[in-house]
Amino acid sequence: MKTLVFAGSTRQQSFNRRLAAVAAQAARDLGADVTLLELADFELPLYNGDLEAQGTPDKVRELKAIVHAHPAWIICSPEYNASYTGLLKNTLDWLSRPIAGDADWAVGTKPFNNKVVGLLAASNGALGGVRGLGQLAPLMRQLQCWVAPKQFALGQAATAFDDKGLLRDATQQASVVGVVEQVLHTARKLNA
């Protein structure tokens, strides 16, 4: 199962980028073909209809093709003011835009159709970003994704990872694996 894992952050020491690496390894351990995507590699401009009218940026087209090719997704989202990041919203906004005159991308929801999405979050706060996941889930459903019921929010993230980037707590690791398992199981069923 082709699985896409990415964080809604580009910060070098991002807890969510670390959590994405843990989730990617869990998916590999479960037999998935994993792409660990870095949104920093795309540097999408802030979405603007006037900019779009001048032509969809090549990086948007490239990212559309990548996400479309993966039936299973794991998104690790930081929580900003009880919601998801502007970076993540901007990325999803660009991905959802139809491209006029392009038969491959004439339908905006094409990159999202039948995708199974697992949501994870990490925060140094006690709640671990769970409020942001509550905002992100409806957005993903609006984009025609299947959102896995299992979610996990990692609290106290500053002390949760060891020097190798692994989670110290076996229960937390099992929670990440549980989300990944549910995503892979459902994606296999939908794409059988």
160 near 172, Cβ under 8 Å? yes
Backbone phi, psi, residue 110, to 5°? -50, -45
Predicted local distance difference test score (pLDDT) of residue 97: 97
Query: Could you give the percent of the chain with pLDDT greater than 90?
Result: 98
- Give pLDDT tens digits for 56-102: 999 999 999 999 999 999 999 999 999 999 999 999 999 999 998 99
Tokens standing for 115?
Answer: 């995708």
Q: Give the right CATH number for 2-190 from 3.30.70.2190, 3.40.50.360, 3.40.50.150, 1.10.1200.10.
A: 3.40.50.360
Confidence of residue 142 (pLDDT cuts 50, 70, 90): very high
Return the domain boundaries, the chain: 2-190
Predicted local distance difference test score (pLDDT) of residue 81: 93
Predicted local distance difference test score (pLDDT) of residue 148: 98
Query: Could you give the percent of the chain with pLDDT greater than 70?
Result: 100
pTM of the model: 0.97
| Mean pLDDT on 115-124 | 97
| Mean pLDDT on 39-59 | 96
Length of the chain: 192
Q: Is the pLDDT assigned to residue 168 strictly greater than 90?
A: yes
Predicted local distance difference test score (pLDDT) of residue 192: 85
Predicted local distance difference test score (pLDDT) of residue 181: 98
Closest alpha carbon to 116 in 74, 172, 85, 150: 74
Closest alpha carbon to 15 in 89, 124, 174, 117: 124
Q: Is 57 helix (H, G, I), strand (E, B) or coil?
A: coil
Average confidence score pLDDT of the chain: 97
Give the whole-angstrom CA distance, residue 57 versus residue 7.
21
